[in-house]
Structure 1
Amino acid sequence: MTELTTNLQWNLHCDFSQPQGELYSQFMSALKDKVFLGTKIGEKSYFPVKQFCSTTYQEPEKVLESDGVGVVESFTIYNKKPSRVAFPGADLTVEAPYIVAAISVHNSSQSFFHFLSGVDIDNPLALLKSIKAGLEVRPVWAENRQGNILDILYFEPVSS
């Protein structure tokens, strides 16, 4: 016998903050100056910075600097405007469709996600030809930088 179930809808609001530590704070602050910080741990480099190696728990030996140029490892196209993300104080407006890419900066051993622009998203055939894993990209910086990840508005192909 099948029983009916009741669905409850909840709207939760929760203010939340989390200390990011000294290295990540340095990373965010350096973005104001268009500098992308990473760390060297053993034989690997990590952009953005990493507090420790998650395999060996070794701490960074050195802080590295980069201009933020990297390569696309993968990407996805979103066809719905973001509804749960606010960009307070940022010079950024996101309209659908938009692209988010996993980007590896300066041969990093990790990638991070950010917006990708500078490609013809309205032409699917052109898009498939223009974006591939390994595409070299560079950051496009906001004029009003505040020391957060959205100081980088998006990444664009180096060849554009």
Structure 2
Amino acid sequence: MTITTQRVHWDLNYDIHLGATWGRFMAGLTEQKILANKCPDCARVFVPPQAYCESCFVRTDEWLELPSEGVVEAFTVAWQSFRGGPTPPYAIAGIRLDGASTLLMHYVHGLDLSDPNAVRAQLPVGTRVGAVWAEERTGQILDIAHFAKI
């Protein structure tokens, strides 16, 4: 039996229904607010918000606004490009915003990415970062243009 592969190209445009939870989160971004929700049973704070707690399986109806600052818990640098993405290299970090139990993944700018061996020293775990807001906001995650070291 011969195993073969076939190259396929899909160019898709589609609309995504955000639902009430993500819709509220994205609407908050237009006003430079990072909204989170909280589990009434275990008190975990989710950002991005979730309709249900992943641990307790209860609705997370309590909303709060988080500060736009936090700490880097993990990061990676993308060295290769993909269609529709930013020009590499670029850094993406898991950021624990102050008061959050979960991580928000986002771009971090202001790093010298010219030397792959020196990147880790520029963004150690625990580095404080703050949101840099897009000038024009349209209810998308890139209303936070990126995060930068504080």
TM band (smaller chain) = 0.7 to 0.9
Q: Distance in 1 between matches of 2:19 and 2:2?
A: 49
Quote the offset at 1:126 in angstroms: 4.7
* Cα distance change on mapping 1:115 and 1:4 into 2, 3 Å: same
* Cross-structure match for 1:127: 119
1:46 aligns with 2:46: yes
In the other structure, the counterpart of 2:139 is 147
Partner of 1:98: 90
Q: Any idea what SS the aligned residue of 2:91 has? A: strand
Quick one: which amino acid aligns to residue 30 of structure 1? G
Q: Aligned residue for 2:19? A: 21
Cα RMSD between the aligned structures?
1.9
**Paired residues of 1:74 and 1:102 also in contact (CA < 8 A):** yes
Report if the CA contact (8 A) 2:51-2:61 is conserved: no
Check the 8 A contact 2:37/2:50 in 1, yes or no: yes
**Counterpart position of 1:6:** 4
How far apart are 1:96 and its partner, in Å? 1.3
| Distance in 2 between residues matched to 1:142 and 1:125, nearest whole Å | 30
Q: 1:139 and 1:39 mapped to 2: Cα distance? A: 19
Secondary structure at 1:22 match in 2: helix
Structure 2 residue matching 1:25: 3-state secondary structure? helix
Tell me the alpha carbon deviations over residues 64-110 of structure 1, each in whole angstroms, 9 at most, x when there is no partner: 10232111111111112232x36xxxxxxx32111111111124221
SS in structure 2 at match of 1:39: strand
> Is there any run of 5+ residues in structure 2 with no aligned partner, and where?
none
> Which residue type is aligned with residue 89 of structure 2?
P
Aligned to 1:90: none
| Partners of 1:61 and 1:142 in 2: CA distance | 28
Distance 2:147 2:22 in 1: 20
What are the superposed Cα offsets for residues 126-156 of structure 1, whole Å, 9 maximum, x if unpaired?
Answer: 5322211111111111101111100111111
The runs of 5 or more residues in structure 1 that have no matched partner are: 87-93
Q: TM-score, normalised by structure 1?
A: 0.82
State whether residues 34 and 68 of structure 2, in contact with CA within 8 Å, keep that contact through their aligned partners in structure 1.
yes
Residue in structure 1 matched with residue 76 of structure 2 by the alignment: 76
Distance 2:5 2:117 in 1: 43
Q: Name 1:109's counterpart in structure 2.
A: 101
TM-score using structure 2 length: 0.87
